[in-house]
Structure 1
Amino acid sequence: MARHGNANSATTDEALRLVSVRKMYGSAGNSVTALDGVSLALPPGTFTAVMGPSGSGKSTLLQCAAGLDQPTGGQVFVDGAEMTGGSETALTKFRRDRIGFIFQQFNLLPTLTVLQNVTLPLRLAGRRIDRKHCITTLQRVGLGDRLHHRPAELSGGQQQRVAIARALVTNPKVVFADEPTGALDTRSARDVLTLLAEAVHLYGQTVVMVTHDPIAASYADSVLFLADGQIVGHLPRPTPETVAERMTHLGDQADRRRVIAGV
Protein backbone atom coordinates (compact mmCIF):
# COMPACT_ATOMS: atom_id res chain seq x y z
CA MET A 1 0.00 0.00 0.00
CA ALA A 2 1.32 3.45 -0.85
CA ARG A 3 2.00 5.70 2.11
CA HIS A 4 2.14 9.47 1.91
CA GLY A 5 4.12 11.62 4.27
CA ASN A 6 6.78 14.25 4.70
CA ALA A 7 9.53 12.35 6.49
CA ASN A 8 12.93 13.52 5.37
CA SER A 9 14.61 10.13 5.36
CA ALA A 10 14.06 6.68 3.95
CA THR A 11 14.60 3.21 5.31
CA THR A 12 15.52 0.04 3.50
CA ASP A 13 12.03 -1.36 4.07
CA GLU A 14 10.94 1.19 1.45
CA ALA A 15 11.74 0.45 -2.16
CA LEU A 16 10.97 4.03 -3.19
CA ARG A 17 10.45 7.29 -1.32
CA LEU A 18 9.84 10.75 -2.72
CA VAL A 19 10.01 13.71 -0.34
CA SER A 20 8.43 17.00 -1.46
CA VAL A 21 9.57 16.50 -5.06
CA ARG A 22 9.01 19.49 -7.32
CA LYS A 23 9.68 19.92 -11.03
CA MET A 24 9.46 23.22 -12.85
CA TYR A 25 9.93 23.84 -16.56
CA GLY A 26 10.64 27.14 -18.25
CA SER A 27 12.05 30.44 -17.04
CA ALA A 28 11.07 32.22 -13.83
CA GLY A 29 8.66 34.53 -15.63
CA ASN A 30 7.08 31.80 -17.71
CA SER A 31 7.39 28.59 -15.69
CA VAL A 32 5.17 25.53 -15.58
CA THR A 33 4.88 23.39 -12.47
CA ALA A 34 4.84 19.72 -13.49
CA LEU A 35 5.25 18.32 -9.95
CA ASP A 36 4.16 20.30 -6.91
CA GLY A 37 5.65 18.82 -3.74
CA VAL A 38 4.97 15.10 -4.27
CA SER A 39 5.70 12.80 -1.30
CA LEU A 40 5.14 9.06 -1.28
CA ALA A 41 6.61 5.81 0.02
CA LEU A 42 6.28 2.37 -1.56
CA PRO A 43 7.23 -0.90 0.17
CA PRO A 44 9.21 -3.59 -1.64
CA GLY A 45 7.28 -6.24 -3.52
CA THR A 46 4.43 -3.98 -4.60
CA PHE A 47 2.89 -3.13 -7.98
CA THR A 48 1.73 0.50 -8.18
CA ALA A 49 0.00 2.14 -11.13
CA VAL A 50 0.16 5.91 -11.60
CA MET A 51 -2.73 7.57 -13.41
CA GLY A 52 -4.06 11.05 -14.05
CA PRO A 53 -5.50 13.34 -16.72
CA SER A 54 -3.28 14.54 -19.54
CA GLY A 55 -0.76 17.01 -18.16
CA SER A 56 -1.16 15.82 -14.58
CA GLY A 57 2.56 15.12 -14.17
CA LYS A 58 2.54 11.33 -14.16
CA SER A 59 5.30 10.87 -16.74
CA THR A 60 7.38 13.58 -15.05
CA LEU A 61 6.93 11.77 -11.75
CA LEU A 62 8.19 8.54 -13.27
CA GLN A 63 11.18 10.21 -14.92
CA CYS A 64 12.23 12.03 -11.73
CA ALA A 65 11.77 8.91 -9.60
CA ALA A 66 13.82 6.85 -12.08
CA GLY A 67 16.64 9.39 -12.36
CA LEU A 68 15.94 10.15 -16.02
CA ASP A 69 15.17 13.77 -15.13
CA GLN A 70 16.42 15.97 -12.28
CA PRO A 71 13.80 17.34 -9.85
CA THR A 72 13.85 21.08 -9.23
CA GLY A 73 13.56 20.35 -5.53
CA GLY A 74 12.96 17.57 -3.03
CA GLN A 75 14.56 14.17 -2.51
CA VAL A 76 14.31 10.75 -4.14
CA PHE A 77 15.39 7.59 -2.29
CA VAL A 78 15.64 4.12 -3.84
CA ASP A 79 16.10 1.24 -1.38
CA GLY A 80 17.09 3.77 1.29
CA ALA A 81 19.81 5.41 -0.82
CA GLU A 82 19.35 9.01 -1.90
CA MET A 83 19.56 9.86 -5.57
CA THR A 84 21.73 12.96 -5.49
CA GLY A 85 22.16 15.71 -8.01
CA GLY A 86 25.84 14.95 -8.50
CA SER A 87 27.63 14.19 -11.73
CA GLU A 88 25.95 12.47 -14.64
CA THR A 89 28.41 9.59 -14.18
CA ALA A 90 27.32 9.11 -10.56
CA LEU A 91 23.66 9.32 -11.52
CA THR A 92 24.15 6.77 -14.31
CA LYS A 93 25.83 4.38 -11.88
CA PHE A 94 22.97 4.85 -9.39
CA ARG A 95 20.41 3.99 -12.07
CA ARG A 96 22.35 0.95 -13.29
CA ASP A 97 22.74 -0.40 -9.76
CA ARG A 98 19.18 0.12 -8.53
CA ILE A 99 16.71 0.85 -11.31
CA GLY A 100 15.14 -0.93 -14.28
CA PHE A 101 13.09 0.91 -16.91
CA ILE A 102 10.58 -0.39 -19.46
CA PHE A 103 9.67 1.98 -22.29
CA GLN A 104 6.52 2.02 -24.41
CA GLN A 105 8.54 1.64 -27.63
CA PHE A 106 10.79 -1.18 -26.32
CA ASN A 107 14.12 0.60 -27.13
CA LEU A 108 15.87 -2.59 -28.25
CA LEU A 109 19.00 -2.43 -30.40
CA PRO A 110 18.02 -3.91 -33.79
CA THR A 111 21.45 -5.36 -34.60
CA LEU A 112 21.68 -7.36 -31.36
CA THR A 113 20.04 -10.70 -30.63
CA VAL A 114 17.49 -11.16 -27.86
CA LEU A 115 20.16 -12.51 -25.51
CA GLN A 116 22.59 -9.71 -26.41
CA ASN A 117 19.94 -7.05 -25.76
CA VAL A 118 19.27 -8.55 -22.33
CA THR A 119 22.94 -8.76 -21.37
CA LEU A 120 23.63 -5.20 -22.56
CA PRO A 121 22.92 -3.45 -19.21
CA LEU A 122 25.37 -5.81 -17.50
CA ARG A 123 28.04 -5.09 -20.11
CA LEU A 124 27.53 -1.33 -19.81
CA ALA A 125 27.82 -1.56 -16.03
CA GLY A 126 30.99 -3.64 -16.28
CA ARG A 127 29.34 -6.45 -14.34
CA ARG A 128 30.04 -10.14 -14.78
CA ILE A 129 27.55 -11.72 -17.16
CA ASP A 130 25.90 -14.80 -15.75
CA ARG A 131 24.68 -16.36 -18.99
CA LYS A 132 22.59 -18.94 -17.16
CA HIS A 133 20.81 -16.23 -15.16
CA CYS A 134 20.13 -14.24 -18.35
CA ILE A 135 18.69 -17.29 -20.11
CA THR A 136 16.58 -18.13 -17.07
CA THR A 137 15.21 -14.58 -17.07
CA LEU A 138 14.27 -14.90 -20.74
CA GLN A 139 12.63 -18.25 -20.01
CA ARG A 140 10.59 -16.55 -17.29
CA VAL A 141 9.15 -14.17 -19.88
CA GLY A 142 8.50 -16.98 -22.37
CA LEU A 143 11.38 -16.35 -24.76
CA GLY A 144 13.69 -19.25 -24.00
CA ASP A 145 13.41 -20.37 -27.63
CA ARG A 146 14.11 -16.89 -29.10
CA LEU A 147 17.59 -16.25 -27.70
CA HIS A 148 19.28 -15.72 -31.08
CA HIS A 149 16.47 -13.89 -32.87
CA ARG A 150 16.73 -10.17 -33.58
CA PRO A 151 13.98 -7.67 -32.66
CA ALA A 152 12.68 -7.45 -36.25
CA GLU A 153 11.93 -11.18 -36.11
CA LEU A 154 9.68 -10.78 -33.07
CA SER A 155 6.14 -9.51 -32.55
CA GLY A 156 5.55 -6.32 -30.57
CA GLY A 157 4.52 -8.34 -27.53
CA GLN A 158 7.67 -10.45 -27.75
CA GLN A 159 9.83 -7.33 -28.06
CA GLN A 160 8.28 -5.90 -24.91
CA ARG A 161 9.01 -9.18 -23.13
CA VAL A 162 12.66 -8.78 -24.12
CA ALA A 163 12.53 -5.27 -22.65
CA ILE A 164 11.08 -6.67 -19.42
CA ALA A 165 13.81 -9.31 -19.22
CA ARG A 166 16.42 -6.59 -19.83
CA ALA A 167 14.96 -4.55 -16.96
CA LEU A 168 14.87 -7.53 -14.59
CA VAL A 169 18.25 -9.11 -15.35
CA THR A 170 20.20 -6.64 -13.18
CA ASN A 171 17.96 -7.43 -10.16
CA PRO A 172 16.95 -3.78 -9.72
CA LYS A 173 15.34 -2.45 -6.56
CA VAL A 174 12.56 -0.79 -8.57
CA VAL A 175 11.31 -1.30 -12.13
CA PHE A 176 9.62 1.71 -13.72
CA ALA A 177 7.33 1.12 -16.69
CA ASP A 178 6.09 4.01 -18.86
CA GLU A 179 2.91 2.96 -20.70
CA PRO A 180 4.41 -0.51 -21.31
CA THR A 181 1.30 -1.77 -23.14
CA GLY A 182 0.62 1.37 -25.18
CA ALA A 183 2.02 -0.10 -28.41
CA LEU A 184 0.55 -3.58 -28.01
CA ASP A 185 -2.63 -5.38 -29.03
CA THR A 186 -5.03 -6.52 -26.32
CA ARG A 187 -3.71 -10.06 -25.95
CA SER A 188 -0.05 -9.04 -25.91
CA ALA A 189 -0.86 -6.29 -23.40
CA ARG A 190 -2.53 -8.82 -21.10
CA ASP A 191 0.51 -11.11 -21.33
CA VAL A 192 2.90 -8.27 -20.49
CA LEU A 193 0.82 -7.11 -17.52
CA THR A 194 0.64 -10.67 -16.23
CA LEU A 195 4.43 -10.89 -16.43
CA LEU A 196 4.84 -7.68 -14.46
CA ALA A 197 2.40 -8.89 -11.81
CA GLU A 198 4.27 -12.21 -11.57
CA ALA A 199 7.57 -10.37 -11.16
CA VAL A 200 6.04 -8.70 -8.12
CA HIS A 201 4.09 -11.53 -6.53
CA LEU A 202 6.38 -14.47 -7.34
CA TYR A 203 9.80 -12.80 -7.24
CA GLY A 204 9.32 -9.83 -4.90
CA GLN A 205 10.06 -7.16 -7.50
CA THR A 206 8.78 -3.61 -7.03
CA VAL A 207 7.06 -2.14 -10.10
CA VAL A 208 5.80 1.41 -10.69
CA MET A 209 3.80 1.80 -13.92
CA VAL A 210 2.36 4.86 -15.61
CA THR A 211 -0.73 4.03 -17.64
CA HIS A 212 -3.86 5.67 -19.01
CA ASP A 213 -5.72 2.34 -19.27
CA PRO A 214 -8.03 1.29 -16.40
CA ILE A 215 -7.69 -2.37 -17.42
CA ALA A 216 -3.89 -2.16 -17.22
CA ALA A 217 -4.12 -0.39 -13.86
CA SER A 218 -6.31 -3.19 -12.49
CA TYR A 219 -3.30 -5.55 -12.60
CA ALA A 220 -1.58 -3.40 -9.97
CA ASP A 221 -1.98 -3.74 -6.21
CA SER A 222 -2.93 -0.08 -5.94
CA VAL A 223 -3.31 3.07 -8.01
CA LEU A 224 -2.02 6.57 -7.28
CA PHE A 225 -3.93 9.40 -8.96
CA LEU A 226 -2.24 12.66 -9.95
CA ALA A 227 -3.80 15.99 -10.86
CA ASP A 228 -2.00 19.30 -11.35
CA GLY A 229 1.29 17.79 -10.21
CA GLN A 230 -0.04 16.50 -6.89
CA ILE A 231 -1.19 13.12 -5.58
CA VAL A 232 -4.93 13.47 -5.10
CA GLY A 233 -6.03 9.90 -4.49
CA HIS A 234 -5.07 6.31 -3.73
CA LEU A 235 -7.09 3.24 -4.69
CA PRO A 236 -6.15 -0.17 -3.24
CA ARG A 237 -7.23 -3.41 -4.96
CA PRO A 238 -8.34 -1.64 -8.16
CA THR A 239 -10.77 -2.99 -10.71
CA PRO A 240 -11.26 -1.57 -14.21
CA GLU A 241 -14.61 -0.16 -13.09
CA THR A 242 -13.38 1.58 -9.95
CA VAL A 243 -10.37 3.02 -11.78
CA ALA A 244 -12.52 4.31 -14.66
CA GLU A 245 -14.95 5.92 -12.20
CA ARG A 246 -12.15 7.69 -10.34
CA MET A 247 -10.57 8.88 -13.62
CA THR A 248 -13.91 10.26 -14.83
CA HIS A 249 -14.20 12.17 -11.56
CA LEU A 250 -10.68 13.59 -11.96
CA GLY A 251 -11.43 14.56 -15.56
CA ASP A 252 -14.58 16.42 -14.49
CA GLN A 253 -12.59 18.27 -11.84
CA ALA A 254 -9.95 19.24 -14.39
CA ASP A 255 -12.65 20.56 -16.75
CA ARG A 256 -14.14 22.66 -13.97
CA ARG A 257 -10.71 24.13 -13.12
CA ARG A 258 -10.15 25.06 -16.77
CA VAL A 259 -13.54 26.81 -16.92
CA ILE A 260 -12.80 28.75 -13.73
CA ALA A 261 -9.38 29.72 -15.06
CA GLY A 262 -10.92 30.81 -18.35
CA VAL A 263 -8.84 28.41 -20.41
Structure 2
Amino acid sequence: MLRTPSRRTHDAGPAAEALRLVKVTKTHGSGDGAVTALDGITLSLARGTFTAVMGPSGSGKSTLLQCAAGLDRPDSGIVLVDGTELTGSGEAELTRFRRNRVGFVFQQYNLLDTLTVAQNTVLPLRLAGRRVDRNRAREVLTAVGLGDRLGQLPGRLSGGQRQRVAIARALVTEPRVIFADEPTGALDTRSAREVLRLLQGAVRVHGRTVVMVTHDPVAASYADTVLFLADGRLAGRLPAPTADAVAERLAHLGDDVPAGV
Protein backbone atom coordinates (compact mmCIF):
# COMPACT_ATOMS: atom_id res chain seq x y z
CA MET A 1 0.00 0.00 0.00
CA LEU A 2 1.29 3.48 -0.88
CA ARG A 3 2.16 5.34 2.29
CA THR A 4 2.25 9.09 2.83
CA PRO A 5 4.30 9.75 5.98
CA SER A 6 3.08 13.32 6.21
CA ARG A 7 -0.54 12.17 5.83
CA ARG A 8 -0.98 14.41 2.81
CA THR A 9 -3.97 13.61 0.62
CA HIS A 10 -3.65 12.96 -3.10
CA ASP A 11 -4.77 16.53 -3.83
CA ALA A 12 -2.40 18.18 -1.38
CA GLY A 13 0.37 20.44 -2.57
CA PRO A 14 3.76 19.12 -3.58
CA ALA A 15 6.18 17.96 -0.93
CA ALA A 16 9.27 20.09 -0.30
CA GLU A 17 11.31 16.98 -1.02
CA ALA A 18 10.68 15.60 -4.50
CA LEU A 19 12.70 12.42 -4.14
CA ARG A 20 14.29 10.52 -1.25
CA LEU A 21 16.12 7.22 -1.34
CA VAL A 22 17.24 5.58 1.91
CA LYS A 23 19.78 2.73 1.77
CA VAL A 24 18.44 1.45 -1.53
CA THR A 25 20.06 -1.72 -2.86
CA LYS A 26 19.43 -3.65 -6.07
CA THR A 27 21.15 -6.77 -7.37
CA HIS A 28 20.75 -8.24 -10.84
CA GLY A 29 21.17 -11.99 -11.27
CA SER A 30 22.04 -14.52 -8.59
CA GLY A 31 24.85 -16.70 -7.35
CA ASP A 32 28.26 -16.20 -8.91
CA GLY A 33 26.73 -14.09 -11.67
CA ALA A 34 25.09 -11.57 -9.33
CA VAL A 35 25.86 -7.92 -10.00
CA THR A 36 25.19 -5.21 -7.41
CA ALA A 37 23.67 -2.35 -9.38
CA LEU A 38 22.85 -0.17 -6.35
CA ASP A 39 24.75 -0.50 -3.09
CA GLY A 40 23.03 1.32 -0.24
CA ILE A 41 22.13 4.53 -2.07
CA THR A 42 20.85 7.38 0.11
CA LEU A 43 19.98 10.74 -1.39
CA SER A 44 17.50 13.59 -1.22
CA LEU A 45 16.42 15.98 -4.00
CA ALA A 46 14.43 19.15 -3.37
CA ARG A 47 11.43 19.90 -5.56
CA GLY A 48 11.87 22.41 -8.35
CA THR A 49 15.38 21.24 -9.17
CA PHE A 50 17.08 19.74 -12.23
CA THR A 51 19.49 16.91 -11.37
CA ALA A 52 21.67 14.95 -13.79
CA VAL A 53 22.89 11.48 -12.87
CA MET A 54 26.17 10.35 -14.43
CA GLY A 55 28.69 7.57 -14.19
CA PRO A 56 30.55 4.95 -16.21
CA SER A 57 28.71 2.17 -18.00
CA GLY A 58 27.47 -0.27 -15.35
CA SER A 59 27.63 2.29 -12.55
CA GLY A 60 23.92 1.84 -11.77
CA LYS A 61 22.51 5.12 -13.06
CA SER A 62 19.66 3.61 -15.13
CA THR A 63 18.80 1.22 -12.30
CA LEU A 64 18.71 4.19 -9.93
CA LEU A 65 16.23 5.99 -12.17
CA GLN A 66 14.05 2.91 -12.59
CA CYS A 67 13.89 2.25 -8.86
CA ALA A 68 13.30 5.92 -8.06
CA ALA A 69 10.46 6.11 -10.59
CA GLY A 70 8.76 2.93 -9.40
CA LEU A 71 9.48 1.10 -12.67
CA ASP A 72 11.59 -1.47 -10.80
CA ARG A 73 11.63 -2.61 -7.21
CA PRO A 74 14.75 -2.35 -5.03
CA ASP A 75 15.79 -5.38 -3.03
CA SER A 76 15.86 -3.27 0.11
CA GLY A 77 15.62 0.34 1.23
CA ILE A 78 12.99 3.04 0.96
CA VAL A 79 11.92 5.15 -2.03
CA LEU A 80 9.74 8.22 -1.54
CA VAL A 81 8.50 10.35 -4.45
CA ASP A 82 6.75 13.62 -3.63
CA GLY A 83 6.39 12.49 -0.01
CA THR A 84 4.78 9.15 -0.85
CA GLU A 85 6.58 5.88 -0.15
CA LEU A 86 6.58 3.59 -3.17
CA THR A 87 8.34 0.57 -1.68
CA GLY A 88 5.99 -2.15 -0.51
CA SER A 89 3.08 -1.10 -2.74
CA GLY A 90 1.28 -3.26 -5.30
CA GLU A 91 1.64 -2.93 -9.07
CA ALA A 92 -1.83 -1.43 -9.52
CA GLU A 93 -1.10 1.24 -6.92
CA LEU A 94 2.28 2.00 -8.47
CA THR A 95 0.71 2.33 -11.91
CA ARG A 96 -1.91 4.78 -10.65
CA PHE A 97 0.75 6.78 -8.82
CA ARG A 98 3.00 7.02 -11.89
CA ARG A 99 0.13 8.08 -14.13
CA ASN A 100 -0.87 10.91 -11.80
CA ARG A 101 2.36 12.17 -10.28
CA VAL A 102 5.28 11.15 -12.52
CA GLY A 103 6.31 11.93 -16.10
CA PHE A 104 8.77 10.03 -18.27
CA VAL A 105 11.01 10.94 -21.20
CA PHE A 106 13.03 8.15 -22.81
CA GLN A 107 15.73 8.07 -25.47
CA GLN A 108 13.50 6.22 -27.97
CA TYR A 109 10.46 8.53 -27.58
CA ASN A 110 7.94 5.63 -27.14
CA LEU A 111 5.30 7.28 -29.33
CA LEU A 112 2.52 5.28 -31.00
CA ASP A 113 2.92 5.57 -34.77
CA THR A 114 -0.82 5.30 -35.44
CA LEU A 115 -1.73 8.23 -33.18
CA THR A 116 -1.34 11.89 -34.05
CA VAL A 117 0.88 14.29 -32.13
CA ALA A 118 -2.12 15.51 -30.13
CA GLN A 119 -3.38 11.99 -29.45
CA ASN A 120 0.04 10.82 -28.26
CA THR A 121 0.27 13.83 -25.98
CA VAL A 122 -3.03 13.19 -24.18
CA LEU A 123 -2.62 9.40 -24.02
CA PRO A 124 -1.45 9.40 -20.36
CA LEU A 125 -4.62 11.29 -19.39
CA ARG A 126 -6.80 8.74 -21.16
CA LEU A 127 -4.95 5.83 -19.57
CA ALA A 128 -5.42 7.41 -16.14
CA GLY A 129 -9.14 7.99 -16.77
CA ARG A 130 -8.68 11.73 -16.42
CA ARG A 131 -10.51 14.43 -18.35
CA VAL A 132 -8.77 15.40 -21.57
CA ASP A 133 -8.47 19.18 -21.89
CA ARG A 134 -7.69 19.71 -25.57
CA ASN A 135 -6.96 23.39 -25.05
CA ARG A 136 -4.39 22.51 -22.38
CA ALA A 137 -2.82 19.94 -24.71
CA ARG A 138 -2.62 22.54 -27.47
CA GLU A 139 -0.98 25.01 -25.09
CA VAL A 140 1.66 22.47 -24.06
CA LEU A 141 2.39 21.49 -27.65
CA THR A 142 2.63 25.15 -28.64
CA ALA A 143 5.06 25.72 -25.76
CA VAL A 144 7.36 22.99 -27.13
CA GLY A 145 7.13 24.40 -30.65
CA LEU A 146 4.65 21.94 -32.13
CA GLY A 147 1.42 23.94 -32.11
CA ASP A 148 1.16 23.55 -35.88
CA ARG A 149 1.76 19.78 -35.89
CA LEU A 150 -1.17 18.53 -33.80
CA GLY A 151 -2.67 16.35 -36.54
CA GLN A 152 0.57 14.87 -37.86
CA LEU A 153 1.75 11.31 -37.25
CA PRO A 154 5.15 10.73 -35.57
CA GLY A 155 6.58 9.22 -38.74
CA ARG A 156 6.47 12.66 -40.37
CA LEU A 157 8.50 14.30 -37.59
CA SER A 158 12.24 14.62 -37.03
CA GLY A 159 13.88 12.97 -34.03
CA GLY A 160 14.00 16.26 -32.18
CA GLN A 161 10.32 16.92 -32.86
CA ARG A 162 9.35 13.44 -31.65
CA GLN A 163 11.27 14.01 -28.43
CA ARG A 164 9.42 17.30 -27.97
CA VAL A 165 6.15 15.38 -28.29
CA ALA A 166 7.45 13.04 -25.57
CA ILE A 167 8.18 16.03 -23.34
CA ALA A 168 4.72 17.48 -23.99
CA ARG A 169 3.24 14.09 -23.10
CA ALA A 170 5.22 14.14 -19.84
CA LEU A 171 4.10 17.68 -19.02
CA VAL A 172 0.40 17.46 -19.86
CA THR A 173 -0.42 15.46 -16.73
CA GLU A 174 1.26 18.16 -14.60
CA PRO A 175 3.52 15.65 -12.82
CA ARG A 176 5.48 16.45 -9.71
CA VAL A 177 8.63 14.69 -10.98
CA ILE A 178 9.88 14.01 -14.51
CA PHE A 179 12.37 11.19 -15.01
CA ALA A 180 14.41 11.38 -18.22
CA ASP A 181 16.64 8.50 -19.36
CA GLU A 182 19.22 9.64 -21.94
CA PRO A 183 16.64 12.00 -23.54
CA THR A 184 19.19 13.47 -25.99
CA GLY A 185 21.08 10.27 -26.79
CA ALA A 186 19.56 9.87 -30.27
CA LEU A 187 19.50 13.55 -31.22
CA ASP A 188 21.77 15.89 -33.15
CA THR A 189 23.42 18.75 -31.29
CA ARG A 190 20.82 21.39 -32.13
CA SER A 191 17.83 19.19 -31.29
CA ALA A 192 19.51 18.07 -28.07
CA ARG A 193 20.00 21.68 -27.01
CA GLU A 194 16.31 22.46 -27.67
CA VAL A 195 15.18 19.44 -25.63
CA LEU A 196 17.43 20.36 -22.71
CA ARG A 197 16.11 23.92 -22.69
CA LEU A 198 12.57 22.54 -22.55
CA LEU A 199 13.52 20.43 -19.52
CA GLN A 200 15.08 23.51 -17.92
CA GLY A 201 11.85 25.39 -18.58
CA ALA A 202 9.81 22.64 -16.94
CA VAL A 203 11.82 23.31 -13.78
CA ARG A 204 12.28 27.08 -13.86
CA VAL A 205 8.91 28.09 -15.31
CA HIS A 206 6.57 25.33 -14.16
CA GLY A 207 8.28 24.25 -10.94
CA ARG A 208 8.65 20.59 -11.90
CA THR A 209 11.49 18.42 -10.67
CA VAL A 210 13.62 16.74 -13.34
CA VAL A 211 15.95 13.79 -12.76
CA MET A 212 17.95 12.99 -15.90
CA VAL A 213 20.34 10.13 -16.59
CA THR A 214 22.91 11.07 -19.21
CA HIS A 215 26.39 10.13 -20.42
CA ASP A 216 26.96 13.55 -22.02
CA PRO A 217 28.81 16.27 -20.03
CA VAL A 218 27.22 18.97 -22.20
CA ALA A 219 23.73 17.69 -21.42
CA ALA A 220 24.61 17.48 -17.73
CA SER A 221 25.71 21.13 -17.76
CA TYR A 222 22.06 22.15 -18.21
CA ALA A 223 21.22 20.72 -14.78
CA ASP A 224 21.45 22.50 -11.44
CA THR A 225 23.46 19.66 -9.92
CA VAL A 226 25.18 16.50 -11.15
CA LEU A 227 25.27 13.33 -9.06
CA PHE A 228 28.03 10.85 -9.89
CA LEU A 229 27.74 7.10 -9.46
CA ALA A 230 30.49 4.48 -9.50
CA ASP A 231 30.03 0.77 -8.80
CA GLY A 232 26.50 1.33 -7.55
CA ARG A 233 27.49 3.97 -4.99
CA LEU A 234 27.31 7.73 -4.90
CA ALA A 235 30.73 9.12 -5.77
CA GLY A 236 30.11 12.83 -5.35
CA ARG A 237 28.07 15.76 -6.55
CA LEU A 238 28.79 18.88 -8.56
CA PRO A 239 26.61 22.00 -8.20
CA ALA A 240 26.35 24.58 -10.99
CA PRO A 241 28.11 22.23 -13.43
CA THR A 242 29.96 23.17 -16.60
CA ALA A 243 30.66 20.65 -19.35
CA ASP A 244 34.42 20.85 -18.71
CA ALA A 245 34.03 20.37 -14.96
CA VAL A 246 31.73 17.38 -15.48
CA ALA A 247 34.14 15.77 -17.95
CA GLU A 248 37.04 16.32 -15.54
CA ARG A 249 35.14 14.75 -12.65
CA LEU A 250 34.11 11.76 -14.77
CA ALA A 251 37.71 11.18 -15.82
CA HIS A 252 38.79 10.92 -12.19
CA LEU A 253 35.81 9.14 -10.63
CA GLY A 254 37.94 6.13 -9.74
CA ASP A 255 40.32 8.38 -7.82
CA ASP A 256 37.63 9.96 -5.66
CA VAL A 257 36.57 8.83 -2.25
CA PRO A 258 32.76 8.36 -2.40
CA ALA A 259 31.00 11.32 -0.89
CA GLY A 260 27.66 11.30 0.89
CA VAL A 261 24.77 13.19 -0.63
Mapped to 1, the partners of 2:63 and 2:240 lie a distance apart of 25
2:242 matched residue in structure 1: 239
The residue number in structure 1 matching 2:82 is 79
Aligned to 1:100, which of 96, 99, 103?
A: 103
Does 1:32 find its partner at 2:51? no
Pairing partner for 2:149 from 146, 155, 159: 146
Partner of 1:130: 133
CA offset digits 1:176-220 (Å, max 9, x no partner): 000000000000000000110111111111000000000000000
Answer whether contact 1:174 1:207 (CA < 8 A) is retained: yes
Deviation, structure 1 residue 84:
2.9
Q: Secondary structure at the match of 1:15?
A: strand
> Which residue matches 1:17?
20
- Contact map agreement 2:73 2:87 (CA 8 A) in 1: no
Distance 2:60 2:133 in 1: 38
User: In the alignment, residue 144 of structure 2 is paired with which amino acid?
Assistant: V
Could you tell me how far apart the structure 1 residues matched to 2:189 and 2:219 are?
Answer: 10
Q: Does the 8 A contact of 1:84 with 1:91 survive in 2?
A: no
Q: Which amino acid aligns with 2:84?
A: A
Q: Work out the CA distance in 2 between the residues paired with 1:160 and 1:118.
A: 11
Q: Answer yes or no: is the 8 Å Cα contact 2:52–2:212 preserved in 1.
A: yes
1:62 aligned residue: 65
Where do 5+ consecutive residues of structure 1 fail to align? 1-8, 255-263
Matches within 5 A, 1:199-214: 199-214=202-217
AA matched with 2:141 = L
Q: Distance in 1 between matches of 2:125 and 2:87?
A: 23
Alignment of 1:244-259 (within 5 A): 244-250=247-253, 252-253=254-255
- Aligned-pair Cα RMSD in Å: 1.4
- Aligned partners of 2:48 and 2:89: how far apart in 1? 29
Deviation sequence 1:219-263 (CA, Å, 0-9, x none): 00010000010111000000001000000001x549xxxxxxxxx
Question: Number of aligned pairs?
Answer: 245
The alpha carbon displacement at 1:29 in A equals 4.6
**One-letter amino acid of the structure 1 residue matched with residue 213 of structure 2:** V
TM-score of the aligned structures, taking structure 2 as reference length: 0.91
CA distance in 2, matches of 1:141, 1:180: 15
Q: Percent identity?
A: 68
SS at match of 2:113: coil
The aligned residue for residue 120 of structure 2 is 117
